[in-house]
Amino acid sequence: MEEGRNQSVRLGGVAAVGAAVECEVLVIGGGSTGVGVARDAAMRGFATVLVERGDLATGTTGRFHGLLHSGGRYAVKDPQAARECIAENVVLRRIAADCIEDTGGLFVTTPIDDPDYADRFVAGCQDTGIPVEEIAAAEALRREPRLNPRITRAFVVPDGTADAWKTVWTCARSATEHGARILPYHEVITVTRDGDQVTGIIARGPDGEQVQIRAQVTVNASGAWAGRIAAMADCRVEISPGKGIMLATNHRLVQTVVNRCEMPADGDILVPIRTVSVIGTTDVSVADPDDWAITRAEIDQMLQAGENLVPGFTASRALRVWGGVRPLFQDHAPAETRDVTRAHAVLDHRARDGVGGFLTITGGKFCTFRLMAQDAVDAACTVLGTTRPCRTADEPLPDSQDRRFYKIGSRLAERERTLLDEQLICECELVRRGRLEEEMARRPAPSLDDLRRAVRLGMGPCQGGFCMYRATGILHTTKHLSAAQANRALLAFLEERWKGYYPLLHDDQLRQAWLDNWIFQGVLDVAHLPLAQPAPREETATGHAT
Ligand SMILES: Cc1cc2nc3c(=O)[nH]c(=O)nc-3n(C[C@H](O)[C@H](O)[C@H](O)COP(=O)(O)OP(=O)(O)OC[C@H]3O[C@@H](n4cnc5c(N)ncnc54)[C@H](O)[C@@H]3O)c2cc1C
C-alpha cells in the first residue's frame, strides 16, 4: 500500500501520511460480505483497504436473526440458495467454530402448517445435499419440552447459531494481520472516475475530514445500500430492500433452532442466541434501507407467531425488538420480496454499464459471506489480470484454530476460574473486566454501543441496567474517554437502547425499564451529567492556578 507524502491524515485511529491512500483492492461496506472480501483479498496478497460508514457490522449483519442456516429453509423454494447454505455451513463450522453454537435445528409441522409440505421438504433436502433425519414428534418434545405439543412431524437438520459481530471482528483482525487497513466511521460520499474507469472513492472520516482512496479495483459490498453506491459511479444495481423484524425474550425458551416445516413465512423461526431467544422475522419491501420503523401490529404478529411454536410465549418477557433490511438483488425484482432468491451475484460493471474497475457483490446470506467474498475476489483477480488461489475455506479465523464451538456455558466456566480475582461487569452476559478492557484497547475511541456489539455488554435480560454505568466508569478511569465524553457516551447508549424497548413497554418489561430508569435518573441523575469539558484552569505568571 502506498501513500502520498505531503500531508498527514488520521485513518480510523491509525495515523497515516498522505492525503490520498493507494491500494489494489478497495472494499466499500463493513458487514460480513465486506470484511470477508477484505480478508480474502489481503490473504491473496493484495494491498487492501475497507471503508465502513459506521462501526463494523452495524448494517444488516448486526441486525439479523443469528441463524447459521443448514439450507433447510430454502430446500423447496430456492434450491440454489439451499445448496450455498449447506456448503458454507460446513465450511464455517471448520473455520469459524468460536463464532458458532452448534445448537442443531428442528423443522416441525405445527397445527397451522400444510401437512403435505413435510414430504416435499425431505425431498428438497435430499436434492440439495442437506442432511435430514425424521424423528418422532414425542422425541422432539422430549428434546424441547416447551414446544407446541400438537406438532405432528419433526426433522433434524444441521442448523446452528452464529455471532455476527464476533465473526466480523475476527475476520477484520485476520485481514489486518494480512496487511489490510480497516477503516470504520468512513462514509463514502463520492465514487471517483477517470473516464470509464472507477479510480476509488472519497470518504468522510470520523472528524468530518475527507479522505481520498485510490484503488485499482473497487468492490461495492454495501448490502442494501449497494444501489446508492453504484449510482455514485453512474452504474445501476437494483436492490429490493426487504425489511424484517425480530423480537428477543428474556431467556432461552428452546435450546435448538426451531423452524416451522412450511414454505418460508413470517415469524416461523425461533433461535436461541446466547442468553435469549429470538423470534422472527417478517419480509416487507421498503424504499429506504435506513427505514425499518416497527409497528405495534408487527410486534403482536411476532408474539403470536412465537405462541404457535412455544405455547406461553406471550407470557415471557419481551426484551427488545429490532429490524434489519435484506439486500435482495434481482435484475427485474418481483413485487414480493420473499420471492427474490437468497443466492448471491457478482456484478462486473464493465460488462453491465461500461464502467471498469468496479464490482458489486450483492444478495446472499450472512452464512454465505465467505463464498460471496471468494467469488468477488476471483472477479477482482480477473480485472487485475492475475490468478491467485483463495485460502479462506481452510484457514481458520483467529480464536477458532482449535475448532471448538462456542457453548452457552463457556463464559460461566471461564468466570469460575477467575471468580475471586476479577470484577464482573455484566451479570447477564458474564462479561469480565479483563475482557472488556481487552476490547477497549483494540479500538481507538470505543463507544458503549461498540462495546455492546463486541462483548454482548447489556444484551441480556437487564438490557444494560446494571453494567453500563460500570463500563462507563472504566472507560473513563482507563483514560479511553474524558469525563464529559464518558457522560455523553452513557446518554447516547441509553437513548439507543430506549428505541429497542420502548415499543415493548408493558408488564414485566415495564417494571424492568422502571428499575433501570430509577438507577440512571434517580441514583445517577444522568439527565444532569456535565456534557462539556471544564474550561482549562489558567496559570498565573507565578505558576498558580486561578
Ligand atoms: C431480518 C433479517 C434476518 C436475517 N436472518 C439471517 C439469518 O438468520 N441467517 C443468515 O445467514 N442471514 C440472515 N439474513 C441475511 C443477512 O443478514 C444479510 O444477507 C447479510 O448480513 C448482509 O451482509 P452485507 O455485508 O452484504 O450487508 P451489511 O451488513 O448491510 O453491510 C453493508 C455495509 O455497508 C455500509 N455502507 C452503506 N453505505 C455506505 C457508505 N456510503 N459508505 C461506507 N459504508 C456504507 C453499511 O453501513 C453496512 O454496514 C437476515 C436478514 C434480515 C434483514
Could you write out the DSSP letters of every residue in 410-462? HHHHHHHHTTTTS-EEETTTTEEHHHHHHHHHHSSS--HHHHHHHH-TT-STT
Assess whether the previous peptide bond of 472 is cis (omega < 30° from 0): no
| Three cell numbers written together for 318 | 419481551
Measure the CA–CA gap between 249 and 235, rounded to whole angstroms: 43
Establish whether residue 362 lines the binding site of ligand 1, counting it when its CB lies within 6 angstroms of any ligand atom. Answer: no
* Centroid of ligand 1 to alpha carbon of 225 (angstroms): 9
Q: Which atom of ligand 1 is nearest to the CA of 188?
A: 42
pLDDT for residue 336: 57
DSSP bridge partners of 134: 155
Establish whether residue 326 lines the binding site of ligand 1, counting it when its CB lies within 6 angstroms of any ligand atom. Answer: yes
Amino acid at 120: R
131 burial class (0-12, 13-18, 19+ CB within 10 angstroms)? Answer: middle
Establish whether residue 53 lines the binding site of ligand 1, counting it when its CB lies within 6 angstroms of any ligand atom. Answer: yes
Residues of the chain with pLDDT under 70: 1-19, 332-342, 534-546
Q: 260, 252, 253: which is closest to 106 by C-alpha? A: 260
Dihedral angle, C-alpha 220, 221, 227, 232, nearest 10 °: -30
Measure the CA–CA gap between 411 and 275, rounded to whole angstroms: 11
Establish whether residue 213 lines the binding site of ligand 1, counting it when its CB lies within 6 angstroms of any ligand atom. Answer: no
Establish whether residue 337 lines the binding site of ligand 1, counting it when its CB lies within 6 angstroms of any ligand atom. Answer: no
Establish whether residue 52 lines the binding site of ligand 1, counting it when its CB lies within 6 angstroms of any ligand atom. Answer: yes
Which amino acid residue places its CA nearest to atom 25 of ligand 1?
Answer: 31
Establish whether residue 220 lines the binding site of ligand 1, counting it when its CB lies within 6 angstroms of any ligand atom. Answer: no
3-state secondary structure of 32: helix
Of the residues 159, 212, 366, which should be mutated to test ligand 1's pocket, given the most ligand atoms within 8 Å of the CB?
366
pLDDT for residue 4: 33
Q: What is the residue whose three cell numbers read 444441521?
A: 158
The answer to whether the beta carbons of residues 397 and 171 sit under 8 Å apart is yes
Q: 246, 209, 221, 207: which is closest to 59 by C-alpha? A: 221
Q: Which atom of ligand 1 is nearest to the CA of 243?
A: 53
* Centroid of ligand 1 to alpha carbon of 389 (angstroms): 26
DSSP bridge partners of 359: 219, 348
The answer to whether the beta carbons of residues 6 and 18 sit under 8 Å apart is yes
pLDDT for residue 357: 98
Question: pTM of the prediction?
Answer: 0.84
DSSP 545: B
Establish whether residue 226 lines the binding site of ligand 1, counting it when its CB lies within 6 angstroms of any ligand atom. Answer: no
pLDDT for residue 8: 29
DSSP 315: G
Query: Rounded to the nearest 5 degrees, what angle is found at the Cα of 307, between the Cα atoms of 304 and 310?
Result: 155
Backbone angles phi, psi at 531, to 5 degrees: -105, -5
Establish whether residue 503 lines the binding site of ligand 1, counting it when its CB lies within 6 angstroms of any ligand atom. Answer: no
Per-residue CA distances from 149 to 134, 137, 138, 538 (Å): 17, 8, 8, 74
* Centroid of ligand 1 to alpha carbon of 312 (angstroms): 32
129 burial class (0-12, 13-18, 19+ CB within 10 angstroms)? Answer: middle
CA 91, 28, 458, 268 torsion: positive or negative?
A: negative
Which amino acid residue places its CA nearest to atom 2 of ligand 1?
Answer: 64
3-state secondary structure of 182: strand
